[in-house]
Amino acid sequence: MSPSVSEARGRIAGERKFLTVLCSDLQRSTDLISELDPEEAISRLEPALIAMRTAVRRSRGIVSKEGGDGLIALFGAPHADDNHAVLACHAALELVRRIKLLNDPELHVRVGVHSGYVVAHVIEADFSSIYEAGGPAVHLVKRFESTANAGQILASESCQSLATGIVTFKALPPKRLEGFPALVPCYEVVEISGLSRWRARSTSGLSSFVGRNEQISQLERAAQLVGPSGKIAAVVGTAGIGKSRVVHEFVDALRQRDWQVIEAEGNPLEQAVPYALLKKLLQSALQPEKPVVADQAGSGEALASADAELWPAALNSVLDQPVADPRWRDLEPLLRRRVIIDAVRNMLDRVISSRPTVLLLEDLHWIDGQSETVVEALMSLAATRPLLVLLTWRTEHTPEWLEHLDVLRIWLRSLDAASANMLLDNLLGTAPDLDALKARILRHTGQIPLFIEEVARQFISRRVAGETGDADASWDTLEIPPTVQGVIASRIDRLPKEDKALLQLASVLGPRVSPNLLAAVTDMPTAQLQSRLWSLEVFSRRCGRSHLSNTCLPTTLFARLPTSLFSARSARCCTAGY
């Protein structure tokens, strides 16, 4: 059992969660075992069940329920993860692959994946406890599974919309599913596309770049400092705040000025894959236009290394190429790592000596452990080479090894009002009848660019579909897009229990809640409460009054509260005299 599961056990009273459910089942398994003894029947199906469990756990899912011939698994629980749909599709593909590898012509698996709301809670049975998810979403995913063909993975529209780009889907004709009156849109999961999150986002179309002048100037100044020696800079912020957009805008400008760009990124699907990020770094550095001469002498320091003969083998092993050198196979893991570090350093050293280079390493919060060790060792290149190292990571995952390095940290907050307005104008146009709607979108998205884009896109698609009438009324038909739900939910889940409870309470009291009211309900001194809320980055002060700055947040929280809590909270507010 993973630590997160055991830690979460016992304290989950029942929580409404937006996550992805996977349901898998062996087709006609009863026919396979009906003639067998119970022991034989179990061992006949056990390899398939092991394959299913392994696939789920490798993609950070948890098995909620297991039958003799299939299982239900949850992704994004007990702790939220905004990648839950991608992880579930990855697990489904891996599950089908593993069953095929069993080479048993009678074993055919069908899989369904669906993202939706469930109420998740721990059920204590006589001999075990189960982390169970309930609600229509679970029924729907079972229907998807049961209508899939052998070896097929069927996904719902919500799952497809969350994972598309990173996962490739094929649209199928809508299906009539038992218990669901309307035709249900349906997609087949085909493969993992191999695109990074940023590439997936950018291929679906980017809005015009707005604001961020200060941050771009800071990066410009860092680039100007690159001469005989280099500089390390990092753009840090919460999910969807615009880290990738800022660094890519800046790096594209450097490219125009003949800078060389080497790039790689962490990937949530590859955190457990050794050297996954380093492989991408090497592929980028070794592209044909980059002038590496294979037998050219490296630095004196590098040539002094006794392991230099093993460098080609080291690079090939990271690149998943065949390694012929028998000495490589015999090397101890720790020595291998040291040789890999030397080999990569030496290779990079040669690539970057020709002209100013930016080494862009994105999403360090998803870097695999082995690459992290090498990347840490590579940072010293910036001290003596014309190299700008540009890093991004999400606020909550600062890499520890960066603490002792001289890094220019650029923190991204929400867009300023003028830029956020401009972004909305670009997305929705400037018709005056949209002004009130735009003001509401800005208030409710906390001026976070991803949230603005997603809400605006939802409005546009509903308008195209003729579902919204006048702009003012259309606000009521908008929901928090699933992408935004996922991001907020995972931020909340990482908070300490007390902070979560505080936010939940604030959400019930509404977006304009005053600290005095909260203080009265929580019995916490107002000053202490205010500083807690500031540190949670969810409160702002306007016109001398404090209120929640991102009202998507309370709505999400509200959705997460089990209904049983509402009455208790209301009673408390009443006793507090409000």
Question: Which residues are paired to 130 by β-bridges?
Answer: 123
Q: How far is the CB of 269 from ligand ATP (least distance, A)?
A: 14
Q: How far is the CB of 200 from Mg ion (least distance, A)?
A: 10
Token pair in block for residue 232:
């390390």
Determine how β-strand 109-124 pairs with β-strand 129-134: antiparallel
Could you tell me which of 198, 210, 202, 254 has the C-alpha nearest to residue 231?
Answer: 254
Span interacting with Mg ion, options 237-245, 321-329, 543-551, 563-571, rule CB under 5 A: 237-245
Contact between 243 and ligand ATP (CB under 6 A)?
yes
Which of residues 244, 346, 468, 546 is near ligand ATP by CB under 6 A? Answer: 244
Contact between 483 and Mg ion (CB under 5 A)?
no
Q: Which is nearer to Mg ion, 231 or 243 (CB)?
A: 243
Which of residues 239, 424, 509, 513 is near ligand ATP by CB under 6 A? Answer: 239
Q: How far is the CB of 481 from Mg ion (least distance, A)?
A: 17
The CA distance from 121 to 116, in Å, is 16
Span interacting with ligand ATP, options 13-21, 199-207, 288-296, 526-534, rule CB under 6 A: 199-207
The CA distance from 17 to 91, in Å, is 20
Which of residues 197, 337, 350, 532 is near ligand ATP by CB under 6 A? Answer: 197
Q: Which is nearer to ligand ATP, 60 or 345 (CB)?
A: 60
Q: Which long-range contacts (CB under 8 A, 24 or more apart) does 308-317 make?
A: 308/342, 308/346, 310/339, 310/343, 311/339, 311/342, 311/343, 311/346, 311/347, 312/343, 313/339, 314/339, 314/340, 314/342, 314/343, 314/344, 315/282, 315/340, 315/343, 315/344, 315/347
Which of residues 4, 54, 207, 316 is near ligand ATP by CB under 6 A? Answer: 207
Could you tell me which of 387, 406, 377, 392 has the C-alpha nearest to residue 261?
Answer: 387
Q: How far is the CB of 22 from ligand ATP (least distance, A)?
A: 23
Token pair in block for residue 440:
């509401």
Contact between 165 and ligand ATP (CB under 6 A)?
no
Determine how β-strand 387-394 pairs with β-strand 231-237: parallel
- Residue closest to ligand ATP (Cβ): 242
**Binding to ligand ATP in span 210-229, by CB under 6 A:** 210-212
**Radius of gyration for the alpha carbons in the chain, expressed in angstroms and rounded:** 26
The CA distance from 291 to 285, in Å, is 9
**Binding to ligand ATP in span 442-461, by CB under 6 A:** 449-450, 453
Name the DSSP letter for residue 106.
T
SS3 at position 219: helix
Choose from Mg ion, ligand ATP, none: what does 284 bind? Cβ within 5-8 Å by kind. none
Size of the site for ligand ATP (CB under 6 A): 22
Contact between 242 and ligand ATP (CB under 6 A)?
yes
Contact between 156 and Mg ion (CB under 5 A)?
no
Choose from ligand ATP, Mg ion, none: what does 212 bind? Cβ within 5-8 Å by kind. ligand ATP
Size of the site for Mg ion (CB under 5 A): 2
Q: How far is the CB of 371 from Mg ion (least distance, A)?
A: 17
Are 336 and 315 in contact by the 8 Å Cβ rule? The answer is: no
SS3 at position 69: coil
What binding mask, one character per residue, do residues 244-283 give for Mg ion by CB under 5 A, x or -?
Answer: x---------------------------------------
Q: How far is the CB of 244 from Mg ion (least distance, A)?
A: 3
Choose from Mg ion, ligand ATP, none: what does 449 bind? Cβ within 5-8 Å by kind. ligand ATP
Contact between 196 and Mg ion (CB under 5 A)?
no
Rounded to 10 degrees, the C-alpha dihedral 518/523/528/532 comes to -50
Which of residues 394, 491, 547, 560 is near ligand ATP by CB under 6 A? Answer: 394
Which of residues 22, 52, 423, 492 is near ligand ATP by CB under 6 A? Answer: 423
Contact between 245 and ligand ATP (CB under 6 A)?
yes
3-state DSSP: the chain helix, strand, coil percent, rounded to 5? 50, 20, 30
Contact partners, residue 21, CB within 8 Å, separation at least 6: 72, 73, 74, 75, 88, 113, 114, 115, 116, 118, 133, 137, 138, 141
Name the DSSP letter for residue 495.
S
Contacts to ligand ATP by CB under 6 A: 197-198, 201, 206-207, 209-212, 237, 239-245, 394, 423, 449-450, 453
Residues in touch with Mg ion (CB under 5 A): 243-244
